[in-house]
Amino acid sequence: MTSFDENELFSLTYIQAVAVNAGYQLADWQVDDQSVDGSLRPLGRRSPIVHFQAKSTTQDFVKTDGIHFPLDKDNFNDLRDPDEVWPFVLIVVLLPKVKDEWLSQSTTELCLRRCGYFLSLRGEPRTENKVSRTVVIPLDNVFNKENLDALMKSARPEDL
Amino acid sequence: MRVEIQDPEALRTIPPASVLAHLRASGWEEAEVWPDRAVVLEKAEAGQRWEAVVPIKTTAPGYARNIFQVVEVLAMLEDRSQLDVFRTLASVGADTIRISARNGVEGKPVSLTYANGLMAGAVSALAAAARAAETPRPAFLGPRSAKVTDFIDHIAVAPSDFDTYELTLLSPVPDPPAQAELFPDSHDLPFSRLATRTLAGALDATHAAIAKAHETDALDSFDAAMSAGVSANFCSAVSAMSDQAREFGDGLVADIAWSALHPIHRSPNAHVSFSLRDVQTLDDASKHLRSRATFENEHILADVFRLTRDPAEFDGHAVLLVELDERLRRVEVMFPSSEYDTVIDAHRRQVKIELHGDLKPKGRGYVLGHPRNLKIVDE
């Protein structure tokens, strides 16, 4: 397993932990659909759904106005697609540079270090860039219960 | 089997119209439309209200997942495997023809011979119905038209469970022209629909003609059934399939279900069965109809098998060997005196001849009337 795979798996675990704690679950679908890495829905219910693409990085992309994350151009164009039925967001999980610091555990707590952020790109213009497009994720967009609740509430079109 | 379908490429092949047609036909009701994005349908079942969100744009990044979600719900509510639901959705745009052994009992492996026989019989029956859709005739001979060949080429064999005796064929129905709300039942039908409709009519008419034949001990009922698409070829094909199914049950059952995307409002789905007792009647009907046929202006490629007299005393009467419908048949001809030399030369050198004429069945072979355009084919 490469460090890249470990990063990806860890980011999915992070997303799942936050989601379950907020009352949502990762749909156990093995459908590898374009840029969609996973789909969240309320525990015990089938909808609404929030699709996501998960990214993780140990690099320091944080600036004062947000996280400047270089996103593959195909992923960008999928995420901005206004035809998608459900919210489809980018979730970037920032990780400590040293792997041993990603997680710490004792008999009283389990700690996943640093933080995940999300961004909706729906309706942005397509990029014609050759490789990637840098997106800026506001630091308020923490992937947490409050924001996930809000995303789920916005899933139906009256709020989209 | 409870097989799950998770292949995004396969899921992306299911068009939204097919999903909507299936849901509506299954009692789901439209609850909301999310403009340019999705149609939401609902159904009350098992004490709760279920929701299916059908995406409209197949290019949307989550299309396969969103379709999968609908498949997942349907599989649960209809108590079927996801693969089974997927197959249903994949076939919504096609007329479905199911052929199976009547009263077939599972538990015995399906042999290759059985499957091959059933398949060959189905191709013959479909081709006979399609040819009748072009022009009803008592029998068909020679190559199929391009239209019929195209129809047969586009029939797909639906995958079936390994232990079933059922053959499921899908005949795609093209979309009607954009301006037509629903294409009428009898005008401007795509040929594939015309052919499957003729197939359904021919199955019904054959069934009724058999009952009448048993009642009257005569085969006249098949003459009347010809206009509904019944032909010697069709009777032979149904007979062969019924006989083939002997191994598993008492005859054959054929069902036709119209595409839910292109329903036929005035024609119910067809369901016809034939028992082993019908096989002999079908064979007799086939011979009866073939004896009534004349195949005009047929192009013949033949070997001069025999001259009825020595060349010196040749009176024009010859027997040709001709391949007709993949079988070698004897064809009797009386040539005019102007052609004697050509016929004798072909027989002596054992080279093929070609000619046109009107074929009429006689016993197991044929008689060729009005032979013309005779020439030797030098290979």
Confidence of residue B163 (pLDDT cuts 50, 70, 90): low
Residues 6+ apart with CB under 8 A from B76: none
Indicate the residue type of A47: S
**B154 vs chain A: nearest CA distance in angstroms?**
29
**A136 vs chain B: nearest CA distance in angstroms?**
22
Q: Within a domain: residue B3?
A: no
Mean pLDDT over each residue of chain B, to the nearest integer: 88
Q: What is the pLDDT of residue B290?
A: 92
Spell out a b/e string for A103-128, using b for 16 or more CB atoms within 10 Å of the CB, else e.
eeeeeeeeebeebbbbbbbeeeeebe
pLDDT in tens, B4-17: 677 888 888 899 99
> At residue B366, does pLDDT exceed 60?
yes
CB A122 within 8 A of CB A82: yes
**A96 vs chain B: nearest CA distance in angstroms?**
31
ipTM score of complex: 0.81
Q: Within a domain: residue B1?
A: no
With residue B71 as reference, give the H or E element that holds it: helix B63-77
CB contact under 8 A, B8 and A30: no
Q: How many CB pairs under 8 A join A and B?
A: 77
Among A54, A86, A47, smallest CA distance to A69 is for: A54
Q: Read off the CATH number of the domain in which B348 is found.
A: 2.40.50.140
Q: Within a domain: residue B38?
A: yes
Residues B243 and B344 in one domain: no
**B169 vs chain A: nearest CA distance in angstroms?**
28
Q: Within a domain: residue B145?
A: yes
User: What CA–CA distance (Å, rounded) separates B148 from B337?
Assistant: 40
Q: Tell me the mean pLDDT in the region A8-15.
A: 90
- Cβ-in-10-Å burial (0-12, 13-18, 19+) of B260 comes to buried
CB contact under 8 A, A85 and B59: no
Residues B187 and B301 in one domain: no
Residues B239 and B368 in one domain: no
Q: Chain B residue closest to A160 (CA)? A: B34
A130 in contact with chain B, both atoms CB, cutoff 8 A = no
Single out the residue in B291, B306, B333 at which a domain terminates: B291
Count of domains for chain B: 3
Residues 6+ apart with CB under 8 A from B215: none
Among B143, B148, B155, B107, smallest CA distance to B131 is for: B148
Q: Chain A residue closest to B5 (CA)? A: A31
Residues B186 and B203 in one domain: yes
Q: Within a domain: residue B2?
A: no
Residues B310 and B346 in one domain: yes
CB B102 within 8 A of CB B255: no
Among B106, B141, B127, smallest CA distance to B195 is for: B127
**Cα separations (Å) of B41 from A43, B54, B57?**
21, 8, 16
Single out the residue in B268, B291, B314 at which a domain terminates: B291
Residues B159 and B275 in one domain: yes
pLDDT in tens, B233-275: 999 999 999 888 777 777 889 999 888 888 887 666 689 999 9
Residues of chain B contacting A81 with CB distance shorter than 8 Å: 59-61
Least confident residue range of A37-46, B100-109, B261-270: B100-109
Residues of chain B contacting A84 with CB distance shorter than 8 Å: 37, 60-62
Residues B131 and B249 in one domain: yes
B299 in contact with chain A, both atoms CB, cutoff 8 A = no
pLDDT in tens, B38-91: 999 999 987 888 999 999 998 888 898 889 989 989 998 988 888 889 988 988
What is the domain extent for residue B75? 8-90
Is domain A3-153 in CATH 3.40.1350.10, yes or no? yes
Residues B303 and B251 in one domain: no
Confidence of residue B226 (pLDDT cuts 50, 70, 90): very high
User: Token digits for B339?
Assistant: 């052609």
**Cα angle B286-B292-B298, degrees, rounded to a multiple of 5:** 100
Among B325, B265, B371, smallest CA distance to B128 is for: B325
Mean pLDDT over each residue of chain A, to the nearest integer: 90
User: What CA–CA distance (Å, rounded) separates B126 from B186?
Assistant: 19
Single out the residue in B90, B114, B132 at which a domain terminates: B90
pTM: 0.72
User: What CA–CA distance (Å, rounded) separates B198 from B126?
Assistant: 9
If you search the block for the tokens 């119910």, which residue do you land on? B268
Interface of A with B in 38-97 (CB under 8 A): 39, 46-47, 49, 51, 78-79, 81-86, 88
Residues B142 and B57 in one domain: no
Residues B141 and B242 in one domain: yes
B321 DSSP β-pair partners: B303, B330
Q: What is the pLDDT of residue B216?
A: 94
**A34 vs chain B: nearest CA distance in angstroms?**
6
Among B4, B9, B3, smallest CA distance to B64 is for: B9
Residues B278 and B172 in one domain: yes
